Amino acid sequence: MLRKDLLQEGWLEISCKNTSPAQSIMRIFSSFFISCIILLMHIREEPYEMKISRTVLERRFF
């Protein structure tokens, strides 16, 4: 029932021919996974950039 509602609203596009459940899950959530990876990369790079900006500010003003 829930799957029919989601299909009618256009949220899910699953082709049931020759697909495993893992493949269908990856198709649905691939954009979510990619955005999470990009967010994690951005969070990991930010402290390094902040450290560089701090050292530049310290050299300029102190």
Got the DSSP string for the chain? -HHHHHHHHTS-----TT--HHHHHHHHHHHHHHHHHHHHHHHHHHHHHHHHHHHHHHHHH-
Number of structural domains, the chain?
1
Q: Check pLDDT > 60 for residue 10.
A: no
Structure token pair of residue 56:
């530049």
Q: Is the pLDDT of residue 12 over 60?
A: no
Residue 42 is predicted with a pLDDT of 72
Where in the sequence is the domain holding 15, given as residue range(s)?
Answer: 2-61
pLDDT in tens, 14-62: 545 556 777 777 777 777 777 778 888 777 665 555 566 666 666 666 5
pLDDT of residue 25: 76
